[in-house]
Amino acid sequence: MPTLLLNKKDVQNLIAMDEVIPVVEKAFKELTEGKGAMPSKVYLTLKDGDFRAMPAALPGAAGMKWVNVHTGNPSKGLPTVMAVLIYNDPATGYPLAIMDATESTAFRTAATSAIASKYLARKNSTTLGIVGAGRQASTHIMAHRLIFDFKEIRVFDISSEAVARLTIDLPESPIKECSLEETAKSDIVCTLTPAHQPVVKSKWIMPGTHINAVGADAQGKEELEPSILNQAMVVVDDLRQASHGGEINVPISKGLFKKQQIYATLGEIITGKKTGRTDNKTITVFDSTGLAIEDIAVARLLYEKARNKGTGLTVNLVD
């Protein structure tokens, strides 16, 4: 049996946000119901960046993503995040596919945020705030627009050029470059920065705001003032990962936030074990660290589509 090889272009031609969102939501449901397996991601920290090993299994699918985060890469003409995924047959361990996971990482992260917003944001949300206009900004806008009808998408970045590129990439989106404060005063706010110090202040956040805190995905990172967490309903993707490397990791280490204050996991909300938003005044925060189940769910989707379409190359790695 040959192993399928999918490069970045192959994945770009196969992936579609309207297909990614439902498979990611299903993966959270399966994990919460005990049908999946996922140890916490393992970090390898080096001088110029870090690597993460992310294994997981879902019904009929298994594999591992190997992903880096090197914030200095754009100056070298390389993406900050690059990833490769090995997709295996869980029954035999056979490597069914090796695929670029850079694009799928951007899609599955944004899909997860949009799913969180579906359950935790006000249904009548009309403004989306994007803090950080990198690759994740594009996919977050794409994913949220499938669920919400925004009148305005406010974007802040320290680089006006980055906002301009985003506007060109998404010409049909009502994007407006705004100050950080104005961006934070949106119905839904997505923080997508590599910050190690809070960039979003509590005084800017309005009652009823939903925040997807995405950028803090490693120890020492944080984007929100801890006081925001203390007045919010906090939902995490995974308790272990969030505690050690999510938005809550620094406040917990400083004694400014306790694990006991976490309301639920996203899977508990999706499966109905816990209730999502019930009023228009509660501030909600989703702490997204990025789960391997998201990657395996999307890899399964891409593998099946590639097989059906005859996309990619094959190689005999084992035989």
Catalytic (active-site) positions: 65
Determine how β-strand 175-177 pairs with β-strand 61-69. unpaired
- How many Å apart are CA 94 and CA 265, to the nearest integer? 32
- How many Å apart are CA 152 and CA 127, to the nearest integer? 5
For residue 270, is it left (φ>0), alpha (ψ between -120 and 50) or beta? alpha
Longest dimension (CA), the chain: 61
The helix or strand, by DSSP H or E, that contains position 237, with its residue range, turns out to be: none
| Burial (CB count within 10 angstroms: exposed 0-12, middle 13-18, buried 19+), residue 99 | buried
Does residue 27 contact residue 318 with C-beta atoms inside 8 Å? no
Q: How many Å separate Cα 195 from the centre of its chain? A: 16
Which tokens sit at 3? Answer: 């192993």
Query: In 3-state terms, what secondary structure has residue 98?
Result: strand
Residues 6+ away with beta carbon under 8 Å from 225: 198, 200, 201, 202
